[in-house]
Structure 1
Amino acid sequence: MEYRSLPSSNDKISTIGIGAGNLHESTPQEIVNIIDYGMENGINLIDAVMPDSRAAEPIAQALKGRRDEMNMQMHLGAVYHKGTYSRTRDLSKVKRGFEQELKKYGTDYADIGILHCVDEVGDFEKIMSDGIFDYARKLKREGTIRYLGFSSHSPDICRLFLDTGEIDIFMFSLNAAYDFEPAEGKLVLSHKRMELYRECEKDGVGITVMKPYDGGKLLNAKTSPLNAEMSINQCIQYALDRPAVLSCLAGVRSRTDLEEALNYFSASGEQRNYSFIGNLPHKNMQDTCIYCNHCQPCPSGIDIGSVNKYLDLAKAGDELAKDHYMKLSKNANDCTECGVCEENCPFHVNVRSRMKEARNYFENKSK
């Protein structure tokens, strides 16, 4: 195992962590065994957000008597009414939900307290004005959370949080499909995203990575937004090569998934090499959304990249994606089919068709 230090302390984080979102696909005893196996191999970070709370008790069981050996990333605003995930911005529910999370895991602190899934300016402003950010700061002052952070898919929202000067770490969706954008017939790293990573490194703010495999889509050329397959080793290396990144949270359904992620440490440089991405031509990516948002601005105010991202993640099995889509201030239901987005899209994506697909998909999911 390799470790990286949190910029604001000497605490070391394993460069591969466990994303618990799909652990419920294993039995309780298998979950205990997965956590045991990860810790035996040096993993000391787990992100505890999940679509339901079935995996929580076996995680707590695995950590009993050695809680201090695992950094727990716990979310303020992720609540589990009757065991099912939802996101809230009601301060009283945020407080009650976080207290229940601590009790659930048999602990009195979270190593990393994450303001959960903030992707829109209005949502950020609500957190700042309705007492949620103040509550998070209070928890940090009291030592109930050791490091203050947030999770987001939006570079713009990340910058708003960073401007507060009070963020230690954050969880960000990061992979090659999200980071690259079109330029002169090739794909190049997004300037906006790279500047964010560099700014974090300069300011001493760490990043933990969610969606390193893009929900598994990058692992298959047929589903990859790049129209080219990346291996798990390449995805992990790509994420760890970004400035300020501390750890790559691998989504784990089974011990096999964790073993495949940990194989990264025995992989050769050639097996980790992802340089082929820079030579991928646009022509191989026609009608493929890579969420670059070059289609903006939308006259209806829809974040088209987020709608497409949540649709793809939901279809790939991400059980949180539907809730995140439904919490968008504007979604596919607001599309007027004006076609302005398609005129701007460098990959000639049929955006109107994608909006119809998203509308139908999530409406059917709601029934």
Structure 2
Amino acid sequence: MLTRRNEKNGDSLSILGFGCMRFPMKGSSIDEERSIAMIRDSIDKGVNYFDTAYFYHNGKSESLLGEALSGGYREKVKIATKLPPFMVSKLEGAKKIFGTQLRKLQTDYIDYYLLHMLPDKTTFDRMVSIGVISWLEELKRNGIIKNLGFSFHGGKADFVELIEAYPWDFCQIQYNYLDENKQATKSGLQLAHSLGIPVIVMEPLRGGKLVTNLPDEVLAEFRKYDNKRTPAEWALRWIWNHPEVNVILSGMSDEEQLAENIRIASDAEANSLSDEELQVFERVKTIMQERTKIPCTACGYCMPCPSGVNIPGCFAAYNNKYLLKDKNSRFKYMQTLGVVSKKPAFASLCTECGKCEKHCPQKIEIRKELKTVKKEMEGVFYKLAVNITRKFIKIK
């Protein structure tokens, strides 16, 4: 297992991190015996970074990880878990969540603690105003948390604001060959690195979509170069080729996936892909772009929208539904654009002012396309569902 050094604190982190959101299942419950065996096997083979969260597996992920790390394994690894700002309206709520997390994880400290799905600086400022950040800093001074960071699923402009707003110990972003110019983007990755902020990458396979839902033309391009290398290996090697990336998180749900990822992580050095291999990715991305419904590059020139619409985010969610046949696309759309941000940012908020279209380099008829997104992604009771969910998830 290769490692990369966290230059900020000296930690030697396995380049493969175990994402604890997709444990093997037995019916509707976690297959605890298999999951614990996989976790311990991965540690024995060099994995030392485990990422979980308060509500993964309906709140059971942290408990499972805590059990798996009992009996001497805890001291061998780094635990990352998360505080969900969208569930916190008062400091007491954050303290309640954190206490529950320590109990579930059977530990008295957290190595890497994140603000979960921090969407924008406004939400960060709210965490500051209710005392959450100063409390987390106190926990850090007392050694109860070792590193403070955030995970991110927004647009480039918001990422830049957030990364420059606070002396973060690390950050976690979605990054893969399909999302190179989306969300935090490659320039965001490079900015974090230039600021000395370690980067953890999530969704390297887009929840498996870059393995099981690829167009036949893409698979043909990969096979033309190397008939034995799987789509998963292509995708992981592309990310590990970036020296700015410290750890890739993979949610491994069976022993075969674990074995393959550990094998790849044994020799996936930074800057190791050849020019020929990089050209394969360029051809693949061209194929993907040609199959994309709306030719948005997420450049952000259309932003900010006066009505609060996250235009690139809306288009990305719509494109993913068709490009990768994502069955959960509507749920993800509601989650990221309706529920967890400070303010909703979905397509139907558009007032058709037209300001965005004047700045779009791709000359997209944005108002027309947002109507299409609304029709495909929202439904009759969408706004009601968003409002109810936003109220429901708040912890007083």
- Shorter-chain TM range is 0.7 to 0.9
Partners of 1:292 and 1:135 lie apart in 2 by: 36
Deviation, 1:7, is: 1.2
Match of 1:168 in 2: 169
Of residues 307-316 and 65-74 in structure 1, the stretch that sits farther from structure 2 once superposed is 307-316
SS at match of 1:198: helix
Matched, 1:38 2:42: yes
Residues 196 and 285 (structure 1), Cα distance of their counterparts in 2 relative to 1, 3 Å cut: same
Name the residue aligned to 2:33: 29
Corresponding residue for 1:70? Answer: 77
Tell me, in whole angstroms, the C-alpha distance in 2 between the residues paired with 1:45 and 1:12. 10
More strand by share: 1
Distance 1:365 1:30, change over 3 A: farther
In the alignment, residue 208 of structure 1 is paired with which amino acid?
A: I
RMSD of aligned Cα (Å): 3.8
Deviation of 1:254 after TM superposition, in Å, equals 2.4
What is the letter of the counterpart of residue 198 of structure 1? Q
1:197 is displaced (CA, Å) by 2.5
Matched-pair identity in %: 19
Instruction: Work out whether residues 286 and 347 of structure 1, in 8 Å CA contact, stay in contact via their aligned partners in 2.
Output: no
Tell me the amino acid that sits aligned with residue 172 of structure 1: I
Query: C-alpha offsets along residues 186-216 of structure 1, whole Å, 9 cap, x if unaligned?
Result: xxxx9x8333333322332101011111222
- Supply the distance in 2 between the matched residues of 1:151 and 1:253 (Cα, whole angstroms): 22
Cα separation, partners in 2 of 1:2 and 1:164, compared to 1, 3 Å: same
Which amino acid letter does the alignment assign opposite residue 51 of structure 2?
D
C-alpha distance 70-227 of structure 1, shift in aligned 2 (>3 A) = same
Q: Distance in 1 between matches of 2:216 and 2:152?
A: 23
Report the Cα offset of residue 237 of structure 1: 1.9
> C-alpha deviations, 1:259-313, integer Å up to 9, x for none?
2322324689779944323244487244156661557233422113334556758
Counterpart residue type for residue 113 of structure 1: Y
Further displaced range: 7-16 or 326-335: 326-335
What does residue 186 of structure 1 align with?
none
Counterpart position of 1:8 = 8
Who is 2:64 aligned against? 58
- Corresponding residue for residue 231 of structure 1: 231
Q: Among residues 188, 200, 205, which one is paired with 1:208 in the alignment?
A: 200
Which residue identity lines up with residue 346 of structure 1 in the other structure? Q
Output aligned runs, 1:112-127, within 5 Å.
112-127=112-127
Range with bigger deviation, 231-240 or 156-165? 156-165
Inter-partner Cα distance in structure 2 for 1:254 and 1:20: 12
TM-score (norm 2): 0.75
> Any stretches of 5+ residues in structure 2 without a counterpart?
223-229, 389-396
Q: Distance in 2 between matches of 1:361 and 1:243?
A: 46
Q: Give the Å deviation of 1:342.
A: 7.2
Alignment of 1:1-367 (within 5 A): 1-23=1-23, 25=25, 26-49=30-53, 50-64=56-70, 65-77=72-84, 87-154=87-154, 155-180=156-181, 193-219=185-211, 220-222=213-215, 231-265=231-265, 273-279=277-283, 280-281=285-286, 284-288=290-294, 292-294=298-300, 296-297=302-303, 298-309=305-316, 312=320, 315-317=326-328, 321=332, 322-325=334-337, 326-328=339-341, 329-332=343-346, 334-336=348-350, 338=352, 340=354, 344=360, 346=362, 350-360=369-379, 363=382, 366=385
| Mapped partners of 1:164, 1:102: distance in 2 | 28
With normalisation by structure 1, the TM-score equals: 0.81
Q: Which moved more, 1:312-321 or 1:146-155?
A: 312-321
Cα separation, 1, equivalents of 2:153 and 2:191: 17
Letter in 1 for 2:77: M
Which one has a bigger Cα radius of gyration? 2
